[in-house]
Amino acid sequence: MRLNMYRLTWFRQTLFVLFLGCLILPSGALGQTRNHPLGQNLRFTKFESNTLAGNLIADPSRRELMVLLPPSYYRNLSKRFPAVYLLHGVGKRRDGHLDFLPLFIELFNHMKNKKLDDMILVAVDGTTIFGGSYYAHSPTIGNFEKYIGEEIVATVDSLYRTKSARQFLAVAGFSMGGHGAIKLAMKYSDVFGQVGSLSGSPMSIRYRKSIYRNALRNHRKPKTIEQLIEMHPYEKNWTLVAAYAKAAAFSPNLSKPPLYLNLPFEAPEVDEDDPIWTLWYDDDPLGLVARYQRQLKTLERIYIDHGHDETTLGTEDFVRELARYGIGPTYYIYRGDHVDKLSYRYLRMLRTLSLTWMYE
């Protein structure tokens, strides 16, 4: 770790750390402009990401993390803590990490009341102008895999008292975030020792084929990103927003400005053998299990849940594929749909992940 420049002050001065090519700006708890009850235990860190810089759609490479420090963090200045990196779902086009604030308040109180072990929680901003990155590596949106697995983890380790050994680091998320967490755990199993996926969407994209085909064949195609945002807001058509986000992540096209992506099902005569759909299918978690089975077997725990009403995620197929390679996850099916009982599900997942740390 290299620290080239260090200046620490309060209010009028700023902490800059040049670390692995990233310019990092830790601010006070939620800054001076946002209200919250967590005081100095809620921190915001801004840094310049080298791996997101130069993306074709000119999305910002300067990103912010929201970091929740446990209640005991300032009581024992020599103590280090496990860290969990949390990934949000699809929909927002900026600052998706802020959605975790209400959950962070709940989880802090659970830690304070000894209902959850103390840990550091890091909310990651995985947004793009398309509504989400799927935490993928694409020239259109940037390399979100390296951004999380290398830059963010190194940044947090340099600024906060984490236990940096892999058995104390987990990556987890909901919906798009659950999808991304599973793939990051496969590709960065040397960094993360555990993974959690809450209603990971999708775990196998095969069940979404008719949904995306129908939506894409009948929609008005935008000519610019501004038109895309105006014509297809997430609140009115999540399917199209998710489709464009997936296309930017999984089927980029450097020669098709200004969106720089290919959509499947654009040719009516092509369906079963649509080459763009094949690209999407090749990059979903189910299809990657065989390739990353060795890495998955090294994980201390794989935590998965989904609702009994969720029939298009492919989670059950994914769990069966894990079993085919002798990999047994902690697996829950709850009564409900995609967003039901979400706060409790996060709490149960974090409690389960923390069981591993008790014996380290």
Q: Which CATH number belongs to the domain containing residue 180 in this structure?
A: 3.40.50.1820
Residue 2 lies in a domain: no
Residue 108 lies in a domain: yes
Domain boundary among the residues 257, 282, 307 is at: 282
Pair (44, 98) in one structural domain: yes
Domain boundary among the residues 228, 260, 282 is at: 282
Pair (243, 312) in one structural domain: no
Residue 9 lies in a domain: no
Residue 37 pLDDT: 86
Pair (120, 159) in one structural domain: yes
pTM of the shown model: 0.90
**What residues contact 113, with CB distance under 8 A and at least 6 apart?**
none
Domain that holds residue 235: 205-282
Residue 34 pLDDT: 59
Which residue carries 């949904």 as its tokens?
Answer: 211
Report DSSP letters for 25-54, one per residue.
EEESTTTTT---S-GGGEEEEEEE-TTTTT
Pair (213, 186) in one structural domain: no
Pair (162, 102) in one structural domain: yes
Residue 104 pLDDT: 98
Residue 253 lies in a domain: yes
**What residues contact 259, with CB distance under 8 A and at least 6 apart?**
57, 140, 222, 224, 225, 228, 244, 248
CA-based R_g, the chain, Å: 20
Pair (271, 155) in one structural domain: no
Residue 269 pLDDT: 65
Residue 48 lies in a domain: yes
Pair (197, 264) in one structural domain: no
Total domains, the chain: 2
Residue 311 pLDDT: 82
Pair (225, 92) in one structural domain: no
Residue 12 lies in a domain: no
Pair (172, 310) in one structural domain: yes
Residue 50 lies in a domain: yes
Pair (258, 134) in one structural domain: no
CA distance 329 to 184: 16
CA distance 7 to 176: 37
Residue 13 lies in a domain: no
Ordered per-residue pLDDT tens for the chain, 360 residues? 333 333 333 232 333 333 333 444 444 433 333 568 899 999 999 999 999 999 999 999 999 999 999 999 999 999 999 999 999 999 999 999 999 999 999 999 999 999 999 999 999 999 999 999 999 999 999 999 999 999 999 999 999 999 999 999 999 999 999 999 999 999 999 999 999 999 999 999 988 898 999 889 888 899 999 999 998 888 888 899 999 999 999 999 999 999 999 999 987 766 668 999 999 988 899 999 999 999 999 999 999 999 998 888 899 999 999 999 999 999 999 999 998 999 999 999 999 999 999 766
Decide if 332 contacts 304 (C-beta within 8 A): yes
Strand boundaries in 227-293, DSSP class E? none
Domain boundary among the residues 282, 304, 336 is at: 282
Pair (192, 339) in one structural domain: yes
Pair (60, 187) in one structural domain: yes
CA angle 348, 42, 194 (to 5 degrees): 35
